[in-house]
Amino acid sequence: MTRRFGGLVAVNDVSFDVREGEIFGLIGPNGAGKTTLFNLMTGLTPPSSGTLSYRGQTVTGLAPHRIAALGMSRTFQNIRLFRGLSALENVKVAQHARTRAGLWRGVFGMARAEEAQVERRAWELLDLVGLADRAGEEAGNFSYGDQRRLEIARALATEPRVLLLDEPAAGMNTSEKGGLSAFIREVRGQFDLTVLVIEHHVPLVMGLCDRVAVLNFGELIAIGDPASVQRDPRVIEAYLGGE
């Protein structure tokens, strides 16, 4: 896909496949086009040209909620929780948001059995991310690390097959970062997910990902296993050139 903003080509003819079940890293210097690529993949930004395929189906141009309903769910670089709602409510809302119909049902009332199921599922997800004991606290009061975990719980509430994480380590302290790789692997295994992750913290990406793609000025300059990407002269130049 290609995406232009006026004269700027934010994503320039980038093409790759992500394999089912892998943890796929997307790295590159600031402004390289990583978030734009996530926005293209999740329907937030339409491409200027190119196509997006998901499990053999062309999904280019579908609205974000339609793409989410097909099983792609994401977190954002700038955390987008409902800060005034409790952790539990944040996860419950996400379950309703899976489809428009579900959202209306969430707003106007559900059968009691369904409500109980949503509540139980929300507790399970909070437990998984280690926040069950803080379920009643307002999300806005959580540390960065805990907010990111809550965002992941919320993304999982939509029952995705593909989870896209935009800079999950941003704002985390060293010990929070230390536990993140194991946590992402555990979530991938437990939910049978394919994971895409944008991350600036290169050691984390190299230790976590099965394959890594590198963007620079909107172009895909390398793709492969972490060790070969790290040795690639174009990647070294992109990170060190001009500094």
Which residues here bind ligand ATP, judged by CB under 6 A? 5, 8, 10, 28, 30-36, 77
Provide the 3-class DSSP secondary structure of residue 106: helix
Q: Which residue, 30 or 57, has its beta carbon nearer to ligand ATP?
A: 30
Locate tokens 């394959």: which residue? 211
Give which of 34, 69, 51, 32 is closest to 197, Cα–Cα: 34
Q: Least distance in Å: CB of 108 to ligand ATP?
A: 34
Q: Least distance in Å: CB of 145 to ligand ATP?
A: 19
- For residue 59, count CB atoms less than 10 angstroms from its CB and return exposed for 0-12, middle for 13-18, buried for 19 or more: middle
Q: Are 164 and 41 in contact (CB under 8 A)?
A: yes
Q: Least distance in Å: CB of 222 to ligand ATP?
A: 15
Q: Which residue, 32 or 220, has its beta carbon nearer to ligand ATP?
A: 32
Q: Least distance in Å: CB of 199 to ligand ATP?
A: 10
For 1-81, strand residue ranges (E) read: 3-5, 8-11, 23-27, 53-54, 57-58, 72-74
Q: Which residue, 27 or 126, has its beta carbon nearer to ligand ATP?
A: 27
Q: Which residue, 36 or 181, has its beta carbon nearer to ligand ATP?
A: 36
